[in-house]
Amino acid sequence: MRIVVTGAAGFIGSRFAEMLVESAQHDGDEVLILDALTYSGRRENLTKVLESSRVSFLEGSITDPAVTDRALEGADAVVHLAAESHVDRSITGARVFFETNVVGTQNLLESARRAGVSRFVHVSTDEVYGTIPEGSWREDHILEPNSPYSSSKAGSDLVALAYHRTFGMHVNVTRCSNNYGPRQFPEKVIPLFVSNLIDGHKVPLYGDGGNIRDWLHVDDHCRGILAVLDGGGAGEIYNIGGGTELTNRDLTTRILELMDSDESSIEPVADRLGHDRRYSVDWSKIHDELGYSPQVDFAEGLAATVQWYRDNESWWRPLKGA
């Protein structure tokens, strides 16, 4: 089997590529990594996985048909993680989000269709649902995105599902909650706060800090994606959740404690434009159908993640401000 993984030089993609190569289910499979190596995609993230003789790397953009046709020639499956993903950047410069996330996804799907790819897993986000004051979203909930980023991902979801319905492609869409773990780009909240505290700076907390997110360790997310790749039903959507809901202030307090700091290190800042108040996915479907459950305890996972950034300044320091 030949599997193409897009965006695998990034945070989630690089960990997924490692777990795919380590998976007994995929022992012997060939893996091609396709990545444009933009600001958040780093070849250094691939050091471990590229040691395998079964893994090859192609630098290029999913928006380029010549690149995607070349990458998907002879492919059996695609796991599509390449995306622009930072909400703040989408507010200050939205166009690239639609070019990459919508046009790029359509181009990749078209190359996959021409190549006769048998499975296509499109990795998305819970942010496409909007905001929910109570309860949790099931996969059939209406899409109500509120940021340029989430609307571009909602568009890419719809394109992927349209290729299933129109062309009969075996497409799956996964929608995950907030990821954390090693090698996450330091624009995201956990590595941003940890690196700021290491440097003696304050941590910027949006608004009243009451926005609620469900936290999912990257390893658990990748286990969920693997489960969908191996057993997802054609045309099905699967939420992947972590089961730990925290306000941003609660998360900040936990990080401060792990960093031997206190609330004097918090700097309140104006709230993000259009800031969704609460996300919460119902992940009973992937549990019941594919046997997925998160395995990483949040307290342990957060402590290990904070320690990773303490121990790997050489990885994140060149990226601060990028």
Identify whether residues 29 and 169 lie together within a single domain. Answer: yes
Quote the tokens at residue 314.
């050489």
In-domain check, residue 121: yes
- Residue 53 included in any domain: yes
On whether residue 270 sits in a domain, the answer given is: yes
- Same-domain check for residues 162 and 249: no
Q: Are residues 191 and 310 in the same domain?
A: yes
Domain annotation covers residue 287:
no
> At 242, is the secondary structure helix, strand, or coil?
coil
Does 322 have pLDDT greater than 80?
A: no
Rg (CA), the chain: 19
Q: Is residue 285 part of a domain?
A: no
> Is residue 195 located within the same domain as residue 236?
no
* CATH code at position 307: 3.90.25.10
The tally of domains found in the chain comes to 2
Considering the domain architecture, whether residues 173 and 262 belong to the same structural domain is answered as: no
Same domain, 13 and 101: yes
Q: Are residues 137 and 199 in the same domain?
A: no
Q: What is the pLDDT of residues 207-220, one digit of tens each?
A: 999 999 999 999 99
What's the whole-number mean pLDDT along residues 287-306? 98
Instruction: State mean pLDDT over 256-260.
Output: 98
Please indicate, yes or no, if residue 292 is contained in any of the structural domains.
no
Q: Is residue 66 part of a domain?
A: yes
What pLDDT sits at residue 124?
Answer: 98
pLDDT digits (tens, 9 = 90+) for 104-118: 999 999 999 999 999
Q: What is the pLDDT of residue 313?
A: 96
In this structure, the answer to whether residues 202 and 80 fall within a common structural domain is: no
Q: If we measure between CA atoms, which residue out of 80, 1, 69, 75 comes closest to residue 35?
A: 80
Predicted confidence (pLDDT) at residue 164 exceeds the cutoff of 70: yes
**For residue 222, is pLDDT > 70?**
yes
pLDDT digits (tens, 9 = 90+) for 175-200: 999 999 999 999 999 999 999 999 99
Give the pairing of strands 212-217 and 244-247: antiparallel
Q: Do 173 and 236 reside in the same domain of the chain?
A: yes
Tell me which residues are annotated as active site: 126-127, 149
Mean pLDDT of the chain: 97
Short-list 86, 9, 81, CA closest to 48 = 9
CA distance 235 to 23: 24
> At 172, which CATH number?
3.40.50.720
For 302, the domain range is 186-213+245-278+297-319
Helices H, strands E: what count in the chain?
12, 12
51, 103: one domain = yes
pLDDT at 321 over 90: no
Report d(CA 8, CA 34) in Å as an integer. Answer: 7
Q: Is residue 286 part of a domain?
A: no
Same domain, 22 and 135: yes
Confidence of residue 267 (pLDDT cuts 50, 70, 90): very high
* 101 and 191 together in one domain: no
pTM over 0.95: yes
